[in-house]
Chains A and B, each alone.
Chain A
Amino acid sequence: MTAFPSLRLVASGLAVRRGPRFLFRGLDITLAPGQVMQLTGPNGSGKSTLLRLLAGFSPPDAGMVRLEGAGEEATGSFLHYFGHREGLRPALTARENLAFLAGLLGGDEARIPEALGKLGVARLIDLPVRVLSEGQRRRVALARLLVIDRPVWLLDEPLASLDVEAVTTVSALVGEHARAGGSALVATHQPLAATNAALDLAGRREAAA
């Protein structure tokens, strides 16, 4: 792991409105280097919405998100976003998929075998993603966090469909990432060993005036 530039993801006064109510309003978040923040909240409380918003995919209804220390470069090039849709194409092999993402996001193709090895799926490297099981596919998708170095990880349910062993592995990887000076915001309901901060969206819903 390389050392990361010191980046702070700062969101202030975030609000997202869905019809007659706000999912959340006046939400402030600071994600500093070394922090692993666990994002919790009931289904529909806006966890995924918040992560997509922080990734810059959609604008908030109020408030702003900025990356302190990023300089002039586009915010997106410092982020990893890992969502329900993993960004893998079924017709391509694990290696081809990760090589594409490495090219797109500026990673190192040579690290693909090692990354897959760390996640315990090294032998699947030349199989089309189509034939993999749900859990195997997610492991392959998670390998891109290791192939492409980015300081801020936004992970949406990264532990879904993973077995006990893989959950431990992912927890360890997130912890290692934080020790290297990276940060992570992880939406999950499972306990995550590396967590050192928490954000709960429960009870934040309020009616719009």
Chain B
Amino acid sequence: MSAVSAVLARDLRLARRAGAGASLGLMFFLVLIAIVPFAIGAEQKLVSRLAPALLWIAALLATLLGLDRLFQADEEDGALDQFLLSGGSLTLLVLAKALAHWLVTGLPLSLAAPVLGLMLAIEPQAMLPLALSLLVGTPALTLIGLVGAALTVSLNRGGLLLSLLVVPTAIPTLIFGVAVAKAAAEGRDFAMPLTVLCGTTLFALAISPLAAALALRQARG
């Protein structure tokens, strides 16, 4: 377990240091949401109706940002070799990296979302369900991205391919995430989409670290 906590602690520390690009995701999220009202104009009803979708799209893109470096940096400096010598499970180490990534992107996004929702004139009763949907759904985005990052680890400019790989697989998460917030905004019961959203996250949690570890091993075979 000490290997897992070592990876987690290091990634969090790197994220705090300048240049790691961790706060980049959050900044991108803020900027994107901040300019939307200007682009759409003063039609408050329209902005309000689009708000859940906009927040979710912004969250998806913000998560993707910098994801291509997740394993590449470790591969380039040789840390990935050392991962393989830890004697422990690569799957768990990969999961630790995903957790660190989520703690510095998905979590702050989810917490910032209600505040940004105000800027988009989101219905008050949808505010908390929206934050909840992001809290439950963004781990799935990180985990799906994890597999993409592992598959593109040996590609120099894998960012584009990564987006192509990740975005389609993230669509179910997006659909049900938005469905939660929409249902809440319209005053309907959102238990069903929320349950499905939890399901996608749990599914990603079960599959992604395994797949990512396998992809990393294959990349060096």
Contact = CB atoms under 8 A, between A and B. Distances in A.
A101 interface: yes
B87 A103 contact: no
Contact of A89 (B5, B6, B14): B14
Given A58-B221, A103-B6, A76 B77 contact: no
Given A83-B78, A104-B3, A89 B86 contact: no
A149 interface: no
Nearest to B87: A77
Given A59-B221, A104-B86, A89 B81 contact: no
B84 A106 contact: no
Interface residues of A, number: 31
Given A89-B77, A103-B6, A105-B86, A57 B13 contact: no
Given A87-B79, A92-B10, A105 B20 contact: no
Interface string B11-26: 0011001111000000
B76 interface: yes
B83 interface: yes
Contact of B84 (A76, A80, A103): A76
A77 to B, nearest CB: 3
A57 B93 CA distance: 16
B221 A77 contact: no
Contact of A85 (B6, B76, B84, B220): B76
A91 interface: yes
A87 B82 contact: yes
Nearest to A91: B17
Contacts of A92: 10, 13-14, 17
A76 B93 CA distance: 15
Contact of B10 (A56, A59, A81, A89): A89
Contacts of B82: 81, 87, 101, 104-105
B6 A77 contact: no
Interface string B107-138: 00000000000000000000000000000000
Contact of B3 (A58, A91, A106): A106
B85 interface: yes
B85 A103 contact: no
Given A87-B79, A89-B79, A104-B7, A57 B220 contact: yes
B81 A106 contact: no
Contacts of A101: 82
B8 to A, nearest CB: 10
B9 interface: yes
Nearest to A154: B85
B220 A103 contact: no
A87 B77 contact: yes
A80 B85 CA distance: 8
Nearest to A56: B84
Nearest to A150: B85
B51 to A, nearest CB: 37
Nearest to B76: A85
Interface centre among B5, B9, B87 (most CB of A within 10 A): B87
Given A73-B87, A89-B10, A103 B81 contact: no
Interface of B: 2-3, 5-7, 9-10, 13-14, 17-20, 73, 76-79, 81-88, 93, 220-221
Which 4 pairs, one residue from A and one from B, show the smallest C-beta to C-beta distance?
A77-B87, A103-B6, A85-B78, A87-B78
Interface of A: 55-59, 73-74, 76-77, 79-81, 83-92, 96, 99-106
